[in-house]
Amino acid sequence: MHKPDEEKTAFTTDQGLYCYTVMPFGLKNAGATYQRLVNKMFAKQIGRNMEVYVDDMLTKSITADRHTNDLRETFDVLVKYGMKLNPAKCVFGVPSGRFLGYQVHQRGIEVNLEKIQALAKMVSPRTLKVVQKLTGCLASLSRFIAKSTDRCLPFFKALKKGKGIEWNEDCEKAFQALKDYLGQAPLLSKPETGETLYIYLSVSEAATSSVLVRQEDGIQKPIYYTSKALLPAETRTAIKAQAVADFVAEFTEPSIEVARMMEEQSKKIFKWQLRVNGSSNTHGNGAGVVVSTPEGDSVECALRFDFKATNNQAEYEALIAGLKISTVLGADEVEIFSDSQVVVNQVLDEYQARDESMITYLELAKELLERFKEYRIVHVPREENEKADALAKLASATINI
């Protein structure tokens, strides 16, 4: 606990007045605070060989040979921060296990068998409380259920009728169908880095649903199911608008040539690469620029600004500086990586620049891009733009001499 705040957690017992010296989980923001702590502790491991959700930790390995080293890395972090584990709640060296209520193993994620058995033994609900319990259970399993909203629609209708419920024939059919479906619930597959994923959409009168899938050995395997109930206003589509949409969809011929060009552009490997990042904080503003040449050399620049800038302005300054440096170095085509979603989408005309300064920055950036024969700009997570990010932070934290 923060020393001045300890007295705010005071409580009385028959032996006197006490207060907490460490944060108890009973505080409202304790969970979020603890999550930030473990995220910081295991920042280098999360997503690679570890997953952490509050006090649930999972160390994972691609092969059994690497598991010992992955565990050693985890334990080194635990020792460094003085965190202890409860041996009674730990399991080591297993090919599968339960994590966050799901059964996780090498092939993917499965429904917790205990939840399925509990649902299979459940008798047909007759009270409001039991129906609410049923819908809550199904909500936690929705990622495994195709068109879950359509399947559960009779239950939602029964709940809308006021304090009492009317468990009719439609509810009973839907209930038994869900039991049969979950008895053979699909295994959710694990996507591999860089592979192509497919999304399928389904629209009914009451809901929209989708499934994200991957293809392996010619077989499509589900990764995640989603479903959303339509609002009453969303179900009342204008007849004229629907007729126009149907007409356009039926008579518009797809451009094969355009599709081929887009595919070739996405596969093209650019000789020059540019990574940029901007930083704006209380200490100052700066930009990080990393230019990679066709020969494999790297030009790294940390630029500090002598003027006050917002974060988006700093990102644009980094992009503009990087384009100018690339031009001076003789680049005629370039692939640009930035972790600013705003800047990337404004350059791609996906987002509209509304602020006057943003419009000016965007016009200058596009003017510089026209100097290249070809370019591609891509949004990447900050973790994949580490070098440019470090240079930007270095520049913004440096004090002028």
Whole-structure pTM value: 0.50
Q: What is the pLDDT of residues 132-167, one digit of tens each?
A: 888 888 888 888 888 888 888 888 887 776 566 778
Q: What is the pLDDT of residues 166-180, one digit of tens each?
A: 788 888 888 888 888
Task: Tell me the mean pLDDT in the region 319-325.
Answer: 93
3-state SS, the chain, equals CCHHHHHHHCEEECCEEECCCCCCCCCCCHHHHHHHHHHHHCCCCECCCEEEECCEEEECCCCHHHHHHHHHHHHHHHHHHCCCCCHHHCCCCCCEEEECCEEEECCEEECCHHHHHHHHHCCCCCCHHHHHHHHHHHHHCHHHCCCHHHHHHHHHHHHCCCCCCCCCHHHHHHHHHHHHHHHCCCCECCCCCCCCEEEEEEECCCEEEEEEEEEECCEEEEEEEEEEECCHHHHCCCHHHHHHHHHHHHHCCCCHHHHHHHHHHHHCCCCEEEEEEEEECCCCEEEEEEEECCCCCEEEEEEEECCCCCHHHHHHHHHHHHHHHHHHCCCCEEEEEECCHHHHHHHCCCCCCCCHHHHHHHHHHHHHHCCCCEEEEEECCHHHHHHHHHHHHHHHHCCCC
Domains of the chain, each with CATH number or no CATH: 3-94 (no CATH), 113-183 (no CATH), 267-397 (3.30.420.10)
Lowest mean pLDDT among 110-124, 230-244, 306-320, 342-356: 230-244
* Predicted pLDDT at 401: 42
Residue 283 pLDDT more than 80?
no
**pLDDT category of residue 383 using cuts at 50, 70 and 90:** confident
* Predicted pLDDT at 1: 82
Average pLDDT, rounded, for the chain = 84
